[in-house]
């Protein structure tokens, strides 16, 4: 645990609301005694990720990931344990001991800092520089442009907008003063090395060796849902058509194109509240929509929409997504292209059609909030939109219509799960393409049974076989964990009642014995307990602990006695009686006597418990 006492770590865990922390990454909904959502660790469409606030644990029944709040943040963000402890301590206003460190110790800590943390620190410094430049006298040009686009101070602050001045070395000099290694700043795309530049490893950049990548641009930080700056986009203020209008950060160790959404950090709460998300194309479209109260709006940030982005959006549980794209041919094509991604994710999507030549930003400037509301109310379900758009693409050509049906429309409609909806879309498509309904139906049905687009038969899920008896919990073992998780005070009774000797799984018996030997408070931390067991047993422990099966049990001690009787059937007594039968067959008097004595002892315990 390093320099942080164990009691402090326990205090941080106990005072942290695990549902609130995980809820910043995953949209959670109350489901019985747990909260459920889509697992952030593997792709899924039906929620199997569970969080229990009382027990301070999470578990995914799909991929098996489990643990406490520390483990969740470590796994999701790739942060070391001590960094997570300090982060959660800050959230809970818990003071941590910070011993005096020598300069050498501070340097050692800096060397041990994770690569991710170093990159985030550089990006945060870049954000501070751009924000400072926007607020300075040099930022007048950037401020004027932001005001011209109708963006007010609150949205500017929420999105941490900045400005990169026209010079070639402003940021280089800022990073040099902060002693930021040049290679880190290069990796996140803030600066670039000049031709022939030579610099010692770990040295900060200089104006002789590097130049700024962003110049005379309004800067849009890409902020992840955990409020960390992970990349930048810049909109030029120059009028030279040879200068790219937008440039974005390159991919780095913490930023992957197509896996993030611009504005999600500010929109995630509104998405949950509104039950929908609005997807636009451009950064200024997002800002304008937020400025006018549509705070559930996000954008792909310069990339075509990807399945990773849709899955990320789905985690925040919108009931539907409105594609609010530019009113030009590219926007129409993008809407039609994106339909399949939403169907794959089983997320309902609608297309909001803008007038030709308009984008959300310009439309808002002309018609305001009420105009956008009117358009959103007239949105068309995305598959229906695709069917109508298909006709516009093919016109009168029968060959083109049939080709579009076979290559694009039929594979898309096959993705629709509901049979009735699929039939209605086939009717709509036949009408739009002016093709016989039976022809359209045959193409759709034929594709489901033959060819490369055939949907494979899905075999029922089966439990993976365990690697032997020690890796599997008996029914009695499971019931005991369920009961202890809901009534941890019963830990005080396990030793007195001889329950530990009855536990079937030897690993579980050892873990419970160790727990009862060392604990005085008799609290049951399921995540910590599971971590002491072999990996194949851990998901079984977490699933049992999360069940809440005995949460409302009026007489838990009576239930404990019932579990002991289950152990008699499933556990030690069965083994002893089997051994006794073998000893009698072998004619070993001493072994028979020893086994009889042990069976009588357990039977006497049983009678005593019942009394």
Distance CA 151, CA 158 (A): 11
User: Using 50, 70 and 90 to split pLDDT, how confident is the model at 520?
Assistant: low
513 pLDDT exceeds 60?
yes
Residue 172 zone, left/alpha/beta (φ > 0; ψ -120 to 50; rest): alpha
Can you tell me whether residue 284 is helix, strand or coil?
Answer: helix
319 or 601, which is more confident:
319
70 or 566, which is more confident:
70
User: Using 50, 70 and 90 to split pLDDT, how confident is the model at 113?
Assistant: low
pTM of the complete model beyond 0.75: no
258: its two tokens:
């197509």
Q: Look over the chain and give the mean of its residue pLDDT values, rounded to a whole number.
A: 83
Burial zone of 372 (CB within 10 Å; 0-12 exposed, 13-18 middle, 19+ buried): buried
186: its two tokens:
């290069």
- In this prediction, residue 572 carries a pLDDT of 60
DSSP string for 39-74: -SSS--SS--EEEETTTTEEEETTT--EE-HHHHHH
Contact 288, 300 (CB under 8 A): no
The radius of gyration computed from the CA coordinates of the chain, to the nearest angstrom, equals: 31
Distance CA 350, CA 376 (A): 9
Contact 14, 56 (CB under 8 A): yes
Contact 599, 576 (CB under 8 A): yes
DSSP secondary structure letter of residue 603: H
Residue 585 zone, left/alpha/beta (φ > 0; ψ -120 to 50; rest): alpha
CA 115, 119, 125, 127 dihedral sign is negative
Contact 470, 439 (CB under 8 A): no
Contacts 24+ apart (CB under 8 A), 181-186: 182/209, 182/210, 184/118, 184/119, 184/122, 185/122, 185/126, 185/210, 186/210
158 pLDDT exceeds 60?
yes
Q: What angle do CA 526, 531, 536 make, to 5 degrees?
A: 105
DSSP secondary structure letter of residue 39: -
Over residues 27-45, the mean pLDDT reads 88
Cα atoms in the Cβ-side hemisphere of radius 13 Å centred on 207: 8
pLDDT > 90 in the chain, percent: 32
Cα atoms in the Cβ-side hemisphere of radius 13 Å centred on 231: 22
450 pLDDT exceeds 50?
no
Distance CA 416, CA 274 (A): 25
Which of 584, 575, 573, 570 minimizes the C-alpha distance to 606?
A: 573
127 or 473, which is more confident:
127
135 pLDDT exceeds 80?
yes
Distance CA 440, CA 446 (A): 10
309: its two tokens:
């982005």
pLDDT tens-digit map of 479-507 = 888 988 888 888 877 877 777 877 878 88
Distance CA 361, CA 371 (A): 12
Contact 591, 583 (CB under 8 A): yes
Which of 43, 54, 56 minimizes the C-alpha distance to 9?
A: 56
Q: Name the maximum alpha-carbon separation found in the chain.
A: 102
pLDDT tens-digit map of 210-226 = 999 999 999 999 999 88
Over residues 540-547, the mean pLDDT reads 87
CA dihedral angle for residue 384, residue 386, residue 388, residue 391, rounded to 10 degrees = -150
DSSP string for 326-350: -SSHHHHHHHHHHHHHHHHTT-EEE
Cα atoms in the Cβ-side hemisphere of radius 13 Å centred on 147: 7
Can you tell me whether residue 470 is helix, strand or coil?
Answer: helix
- In this prediction, residue 104 carries a pLDDT of 67
User: Using 50, 70 and 90 to split pLDDT, how confident is the model at 229?
Assistant: very high
Q: What angle do CA 163, 359, 342 make, to 5 degrees?
A: 100
Which residues touch 91 (CB under 8 Å, ≥6 apart)? 16, 21
Contact 163, 219 (CB under 8 A): yes
374: its two tokens:
């009117």
- In this prediction, residue 458 carries a pLDDT of 29
C-beta neighbour count of 334 within 10 angstroms: 19
Of how many residues is the chain composed? 611
């Amino acid at each position: 645990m390093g320099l942080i006492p164990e009691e402090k770590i326990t205090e941080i865990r106990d005072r942290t609301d695990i549902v609130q922390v995980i809820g910043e990454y995953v949209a959670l909904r109350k489901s019985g005694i747990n909260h459920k959502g889509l697992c952030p660790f593997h792709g899924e469409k039906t929620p199997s990720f569970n969080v229990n606030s009382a027990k301070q644990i999470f578990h995914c029944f799909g991929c098996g990931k489990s643990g406490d709040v520390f483990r969740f943040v470590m796994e999701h963000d790739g942060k070391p344990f001590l960094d997570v402890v300090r982060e959660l301590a800050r959230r809970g206003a818990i003071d941590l001991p910070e011993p005096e460190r020598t300069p050498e110790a501070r340097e050692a800590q800096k060397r041990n800092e994770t690569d991710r943390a170093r990159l985030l620190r550089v990006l945060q410094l870049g954000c501070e520089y751009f924000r400072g430049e926007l607020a300075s006298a040099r930022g007048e040009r950037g401020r004027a442009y932001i005001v011209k686009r109708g963006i007010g101070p609150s949205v500017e602050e929420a999105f941490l907008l900045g400005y990169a001045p026209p010079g070639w070395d402003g940021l280089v000099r800022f990073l040099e003063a902060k002693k930021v290694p040049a290679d880190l700043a290069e990796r996140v795309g803030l600066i670039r090395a000049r031709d022939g530049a030579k610099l010692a490893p770990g040295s900060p950049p200089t104006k002789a060796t590097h130049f700024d990548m962003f110049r005379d641009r309004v800067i849009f930080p890409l902020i992840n849902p955990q409020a960390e700056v992970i990349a930048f986009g810049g909109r030029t203020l120059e009028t030279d058509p040879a200068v790219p209008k937008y440039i974005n950060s390159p991919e780095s160790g913490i930023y992957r194109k197509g896996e993030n959404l611009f504005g999600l950090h500010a929109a995630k709460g509104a998405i949950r509240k509104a039950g929908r998300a609005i997807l636009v194309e451009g950064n200024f479209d997002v800002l304008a929509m937020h400025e006018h109260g549509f705070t559930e709006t996000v954008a792909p940030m310069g990339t075509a929409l990807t399945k990773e982005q849709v899955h990320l959006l789905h985690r925040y549980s919108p009931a539907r997504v409105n594609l609010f794209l530019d009113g030009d041919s590219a926007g129409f094509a993008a809407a039609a292209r994106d339909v399949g991604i939403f169907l794959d994710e089983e997320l309902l999507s609608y297309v909001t059609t803008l007038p030709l030549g308009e984008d959300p930003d310009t439309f808002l400037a002309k018609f305001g909030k009420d105009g956008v509301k009117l358009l959103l109310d007239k949105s068309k379900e995305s598959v229906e939109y695709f069917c109508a758009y298909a006709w516009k693409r093919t016109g009168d050509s029968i060959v083109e219509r049939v080709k579009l049906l076979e290559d694009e429309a039929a594979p898309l409609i096959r993705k629709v799960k509901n049979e009735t909806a699929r039939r209605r879309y086939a009717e709509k498509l036949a009408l739009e393409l002016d093709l016989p309904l039976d022809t359209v139906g045959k193409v759709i049905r034929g594709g489901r049974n033959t060819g490369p687009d055939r949907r494979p038969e899905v075999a029922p899920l089966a439990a993976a076989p365990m690697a032997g008896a020690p890796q599997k919990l008996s029914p009695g073992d499971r019931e005991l964990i369920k009961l202890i998780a809901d009534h941890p005070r019963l830990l005080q009774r396990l030793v007195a009642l001889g329950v530990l000797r009855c536990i079937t799984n030897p690993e579980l018996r050892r873990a419970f014995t160790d727990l009862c030997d060392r604990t005085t408070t008799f609290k049951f931390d399921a995540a910590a307990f599971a971590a002491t067991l072999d990996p194949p047993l851990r998901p079984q422990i977490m699933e049992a602990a999360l069940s809440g099966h005995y949460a409302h049990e009026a007489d838990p001690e009576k239930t404990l006695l019932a579990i002991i009787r289950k152990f008699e059937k499933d556990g030690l007594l069965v083994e002893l009686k089997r051994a006794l039968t073998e000893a009698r067959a072998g004619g070993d008097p001493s072994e028979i006597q020893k086994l009889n004595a042990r069976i009588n002892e357990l039977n006497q315990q049983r009678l005593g418990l019942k009394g």
